[in-house]
Amino acid sequence: MLFVHIVILFFSIIVHEIAHAYVAYVRGDNAKSTLERITLNPMSHVELFGTVIIPVFLLLVKAPIFFGWAKPVTINYNNLKNPKIDIFIISLAGPMSNALISIFSGFVIYFVEVFYDFKLELIKSIVHFFYTILVVNVFLMVINLLPIPPLDGSKIITCFLPKKIKLSLLSLNKHVYLAVLFMLMSFNVVWKLIHHAIFFFVNVFSFNFYKNG
């Protein structure tokens, strides 16, 4: 089970980064560093600490949070057609890719539960597998939308901030956010808000609201 969770997280993160790179390319960034990231080849995306060590550690200690990250896509903002708008779109592309994976998984779960005998062990395994994909991707979406550098949420909100504040926010070291994130998680109120957001989207994407309505 640990292996399955890691594989799901790993490829979900890769899709997340591919989405960033592809949208950046569409919006004008044809730099080699960007084009090299539009691939499912894991070696183009792996960052040892964020992609391997952190996820494995969190699973082993049974932490209440389960996430990781890949090597961030380096974007040449000077090549973009409309930098202010494009940065917003590019930043949003990653979390939205996780949302789409979750929605697809929800469709599969709903279809299997409606049309197949749920007493069969194979059906239960399929549903469990796609439910895990759904939850992992919802978690990645919610966490990445937090306005903490260098998460996508911080880049999204900078599009609406004055230039001086924007530069200060984006200049923070990428490891600072990890400490801030864990500190926030230690506050019960913050964790409850994140948990409720995850629970809400898991229910929406798995069509539980429809089924229970």
- Per-residue pLDDT, averaged over 162-180, amounts to 64
Residues 6 or more apart from 114 whose CB is under 8 A from it? none
Are the C-beta atoms of residues 152 and 91 closer than 8 Å to each other? Answer: yes
Distance CA 168, CA 158 (A): 10
Tokens of 173: 């070291």
CA 142 to chain centroid: 7
CA 157 to chain centroid: 17
pLDDT for res 16? 95
Q: Is the dihedral of CA 83, 21, 31, 148 positive or negative?
A: positive
- Following CA atoms 56, 169, 86, 146 in sequence, which dihedral angle do they give, to the nearest 10 degrees? 50
115-141 pLDDT per residue, tens: 777 677 888 888 999 999 999 999 999
Tally the domains of the chain. 1
pLDDT beyond 80 at 209: no
pLDDT for res 98? 97
Distance CA 198, CA 141 (A): 9
Distance CA 13, CA 70 (A): 6
The mean-pLDDT minimum among 94-98, 108-112, 119-123, 175-179 falls in 175-179
Helices (H), 116-173: 121-144, 152-158, 163-170
Closest to 135 in 3D by CA, of 197, 42, 84: 197
Residue 212 banded pLDDT, cuts 50, 70, 90: very low
Are the C-beta atoms of residues 113 and 127 closer than 8 Å to each other? Answer: yes
What is the pTM assigned to this prediction?
Answer: 0.85
Distance CA 155, CA 9 (A): 22
Angle at 70 between CA 33 and CA 129, to 5 degrees: 130
Domain hosting residue 186, numbered range: 2-212
Are the C-beta atoms of residues 201 and 102 closer than 8 Å to each other? Answer: yes
Q: What is the mean pLDDT of the chain?
A: 83
Strongest mean pLDDT among 110-114, 134-138, 147-151, 165-169? 134-138
Are the C-beta atoms of residues 89 and 107 closer than 8 Å to each other? Answer: no
19-46 pLDDT per residue, tens: 999 999 999 999 888 999 999 898 899 8
pLDDT for res 213? 44
Report which DSSP code applies to 71. Answer: P
pLDDT for res 108? 93
Distance CA 110, CA 55 (A): 28
